[in-house]
Chain A
Amino acid sequence: MKKLDELQLLKRGNVFKHGLFLLGGLVLLNSFLTNNDILLINERWSPVLMVLITVAACSIELISLDIYPLTQRRQRLLIYFVGLFGMLSIAISIYEMINSKIPFSINKQVTEEGLGIILGCIFISITLTYIIKSYLNTKLNDEDI
C-alpha cells in the first residue's frame, strides 16, 4: 500500500466523505424514482450501478489527487485491466445489440445491453483519468523547479 502523508490523508478522508454523500444521494434518487414507478434500469441492476458509480467517482477523485491506495506498478495493472474490461463490455453489448436487434432502451428503461455500455463507460472513465493524470504528472515533474 502507498504510504500517504498528512495532506493526502486529509484529502482521502474528503474523498470517502464525497463517496458517502454520492451513494446516499443515489439511494434517495433511486427510492424517489421507484416510488413514482419510474424504473430507468432493471431493479436487479440498479443497486449494482449505484455502487459502481460511487466506486468509480471515488477512484477518479483518488487518482486525480494522486492518492490511489495501490502502489504504482499494481495500480497501473489494475487500472489497465479495468479499462480493458470496460472496452470488452461495450464491444460485447454493441455486438449483442446489433445481432439481436435489441435497442438501448425499451419503454424508457435501459436494457441489459444498454447497461453493459453504461458500465463500460464507467470503467473506461477510470482508466482515462489515470492516463491523463499520468501524462500531467510527467509534465509537471519536468517543469518542477
Chain B
Amino acid sequence: MPKNLKLKVARTMKDMTQKDLAEAVGVSRQTMNAIERGDYYPSVKLCIEICKVLGKTLDELFWEI
C-alpha cells in the first residue's frame, strides 16, 4: 500500500505530531502511524474525523489518482 504523504503534510502544516492527531480523533498513535504508512485503510467515519481536525476534505487527504 502506498504511503499517505498528503495526510502527513496536512498534519505537519497544522504543527501536530502523530500523537496529537491521534488524540484529537480518538485513536492510538500506532493506528495513526499505520494510516500514514499506508498499512491500514481507515473507516469512512475515522477519515471524516481526521479531515475535520485537519480542516481538509476527504478528497484532499484520501483520494488517490
Contacts of B17 in A (CB 8 A): 144-145
Q: Using a CB-CB cutoff of 8 Å, which residues 113-145 of chain A contact chain B? A: 140-141, 144-145
CB distance from A129 to the nearest CB of B (A): 16
Q: Which residue of A lies closest to B46 (CB)?
A: A6
Q: Which residue of B lies closest to A145 (CB)?
A: B17
Decide yes or no whether B57 CB sits under 8 A from chain A: no
Among the interface residues B17, B18, B30, B34, which one has the most CB atoms of the partner chain A within 10 A? Answer: B30
Q: Which residue of A lies closest to B8 (CB)?
A: A145
Contacts of B42 in A (CB 8 A): 6-7
Q: Using a CB-CB cutoff of 8 Å, which residues 2-41 of chain A contact chain B? A: 4-8
A8 and B26 CA atoms in complex are apart in Å by: 12
Among the interface residues A4, A5, A6, which one has the most CB atoms of the partner chain B within 10 A? Answer: A5
State which of A6, A66, A140, A144 has its C-beta within 8 Å of the C-beta of B43.
A6
Give the contact-size bracket for chain B.
10 to 19
Decide yes or no whether B27 CB sits under 8 A from chain A: yes
Pair B18/A66 contact, Cβ less than 8 Å: no
Q: Which residue of A lies closest to B41 (CB)?
A: A7
CB distance from B54 to the nearest CB of A (A): 16
Contacts of B19 in A (CB 8 A): 141, 144
Contacts of B18 in A (CB 8 A): 144-145
Contacts of A144 in B (CB 8 A): 17-19, 29
Pair A8/B28 contact, Cβ less than 8 Å: yes
Instruction: Evaluate whether A66 and B27 lie within 8 angstroms (CB atoms) in the complex, with A6-B42, A6-B43, A145-B17 already known.
Output: no
Contacts of B12 in A (CB 8 A): 145
Task: Please list the residues of chain B having a beta carbon within 8 angstroms of any beta carbon in chain A.
Answer: 12, 17-19, 26-31, 34, 40, 42-43, 46
Task: Please list the residues of chain A having a beta carbon within 8 angstroms of any beta carbon in chain B.
Answer: 4-8, 65-66, 140-141, 144-145
